[in-house]
Homo-oligomer: A and B are copies of this chain.
Amino acid sequence: MANQNIPYKIYLSEDEMPQTWYNVRADMKNKPAPLLNPGTGAPMGFEDLRPVFCDELIRQELDDDTRDIPIPQEIRDFYKMYRPSPLVRAYCLEKKLQTPAKIYYKFEGNNTSGSHKLNSAIAQAYYAKQQGLKGVTTETGAGQWGTALSMACGYLGLDCKVYMVKVSYEQKPFRREVMRTYGASVTPSPSETTNVGRAILKEHPGTTGSLGCAISEAVEAATSTPGYRYVLGSVLNQVLLHQSVIGLETKTALDKYGVVPDIIIGCAGGGSNLGGLISPFMGEKLRGEKDYRIIAVEPASCPSFTRGRFAYDFCDTGHVCPLAKMYTLGSNFIPSPNHAGGLRYHGMSSILSQLYHDGYMEAVSVEQTKVFEAAEMFARVEGILPAPESSHAIRVAIDEAMKCKETGEEKTIVFGLTGTGYFDMVAYEKFHNGEMSDYIPTDAELESSFATLPQVPGQD
């Protein structure tokens, strides 16, 4: 096995861990569009957002200029419990594929939340605690974000109320129990505890819920309970800022061994992992210092980048959140019930949407059976059982490595392995039993979903 003195796993020392987050907006010529008030259509400023978010997080959300933002010591200490995460050289996968490509992956699954979500959860919980708040509310679908937030709140002694999409609440009782272990309260959504929940239940009595609906409930719970604020695990600028720790560690580790990637690949749902992973590389690209191919991978059943509109849209089903300009499938879009692979949000980070719109990155969509094929092969040769979400990136990394095999090019491929699939075995079981199918929404379906886009001045 060719080695070149690069170990299987590159771990940074604590000294080498980042002390600042990197704010890619500082290097963007076209900044992401501002959030708009859903009632008036006016851009939302600091005061407008205060009922929903913590003060310091609003400052981070609105800050398009400061390039490096210090990571508070207490967050850095927490990071040390589970970071630096390993940058793994996929020697075994390379050997299996017989490819001349060199493949690396940044593995974020070695913590109890099972994903990268903890990187932002601790930051958001920390600032809430600093502001003297009692607690935070949030929504969770598959449960990775809810688990991460529960862990962060459990550590800091902060109340944590999680609205969990009802179908997940019922199908993933273990996720719920992990959250309870960390002291969180978990409510199936839609619920009778909020106005928006009651309204949705009245209109759709048998609904099993959706992420957009759970967001609406969590926001209402935060804004109607003194001492609480709402936190979100993806999409927002602040989240991409916190997740830059992934990319910064990756870059430090690669620099240490003199490795320069040709292609950087990440899965994209709301964009938190992809945005974090690529940020320092994108910064070099924006500043014209280096060039990289950057590829976002999304499910063919929820193709925001590849088939969505770049437009202002609601972030939630109940339309209580600010409007964001992003690639979107329409806030009523819900992936086909046979979709098991996560990444089911209808929109996409405004930062990534702008960068994609400006041609700084590519996007591809993949069908889920191909994703699970890649997942299973990866599990067997690399020993890590990947989350379905992460497996989208694996699929395209393998595809690119196979192209290298055809051309003989020794490209260096880096991808983000966001998490583990221990709580996704129902989907794996379907795949093993040959019961998994693919679904691609029709143009007509998307058109009907686009019809729900809001009327905003300047909207195409």
Is A80 located at the chain interface by the 8 A CB criterion? yes
A376 x B92 contact (CB < 8 A): no
Q: Is the CB of A383 within 8 A of B11?
A: no
Chain A stretch 1-48: residues in CB contact (< 8 A) with chain B: 1, 7-9, 11, 13-14
Residue of B nearest to A152 (CB): B383
In the complex, the answer to whether A112 meets B379 with C-beta atoms within 8 Å is: yes
Q: Is A436 at the interface (CB under 8 A from chain B)?
A: no
CB-defined contacts of A178 to chain B, threshold 8 Å: 385, 422, 425, 428
Report chain B residues within 8 Å CB of A432.
Answer: 177, 180-181
User: What residue of chain B has the Cβ atom nearest to residue A175's Cβ?
Assistant: B425
Q: A151-B383, A154-B380, A183-B380 are in contact. Are A8 and B174 (CB under 8 A)?
A: no
A81 at the interface (CB under 8 A from B): yes
- Are the CB atoms of A381 and B177 closer together than 8 Å? no
Chain B residues within 8 Å of A13, by CB: 7
Nearest B residue (CB) for A80: B8
Q: Are A11 and B14 in contact (CB under 8 A)?
A: no
The residue that A429 contacts in the complex, of B7, B80, B173, B426, with Cβ under 8 A, is B173
Closest B residue to A107 using CB positions: B110
A155 interfacial by beta-carbon distance below 8 Å: yes
Q: How far is the CA of A429 from the CA of B172 in the complex (A)?
A: 13
Q: Which of B91, B112, B114, B422 contacts A423 (CB 8 A)?
A: B422
Chain B residues positioned under 8 Å from A78 (CB to CB) = 383
Q: How far is the CA of A14 from the CA of B88 in the complex (A)?
A: 13
CA distance A382 to B384 in the complex (A): 23
Instruction: Give the complex CA separation of A425 and B173 in angstroms.
Output: 8
Residue of B whose beta carbon sits closest to that of A8: B80
Cβ–Cβ < 8 Å partners of A88 in chain B: 81
Q: How many copies of this kind of chain does the complex include?
A: 2
Provide the A408-449 mask, 1 if CB < 8 A to any CB of B, else 0.
Answer: 000000000000101101101100100000000000000000
- Residue pair B422, A177 in contact (C-beta under 8 Å): no
Q: How far is the CA of A311 from the CA of B420 in the complex (A)?
A: 44
Inter-subunit contact B380/A174 (CB<8 Å): no
Q: Does A208 contact B (CB under 8 A)?
A: no
Give chain B residues whose Cβ lies under 8 Å from the Cβ of A8: 14, 77, 80-81
Closest to A182 in B: B380
Q: A1-B77, A425-B174, A429-B173 are in contact. Are A181 and B379 (CB under 8 A)?
A: yes
Q: Which residues of B contact A180 (CB under 8 A)?
A: 428-429, 432
- Given A173-B429, A423-B422, A81-B383 contact (CB < 8 Å): yes
Closest approach, in angstroms, between the C-beta of A199 and any C-beta of chain B? Answer: 31
The one of B111, B422, B425 in contact with A383, judged by C-beta atoms closer than 8 angstroms, is B111
- Asked whether A82 is an interface residue with its Cβ less than 8 Å from the other chain, the reply is yes
CA distance A431 to B435 in the complex (A): 35
Q: Binary interface profile of A, 150-168, with partner B (CB < 8 Å = 1, else 0)?
A: 0100110000000000000
Q: List 30 A-B contacts (CB under 8 A).
A: A7-B13, A8-B14, A8-B80, A8-B81, A9-B81, A77-B91, A81-B88, A81-B383, A92-B155, A112-B383, A112-B385, A112-B420, A114-B422, A151-B380, A151-B383, A155-B381, A155-B383, A174-B422, A174-B426, A177-B428, A177-B432, A178-B422, A178-B425, A178-B428, A180-B428, A180-B429, A180-B432, A181-B428, A183-B380, A422-B422
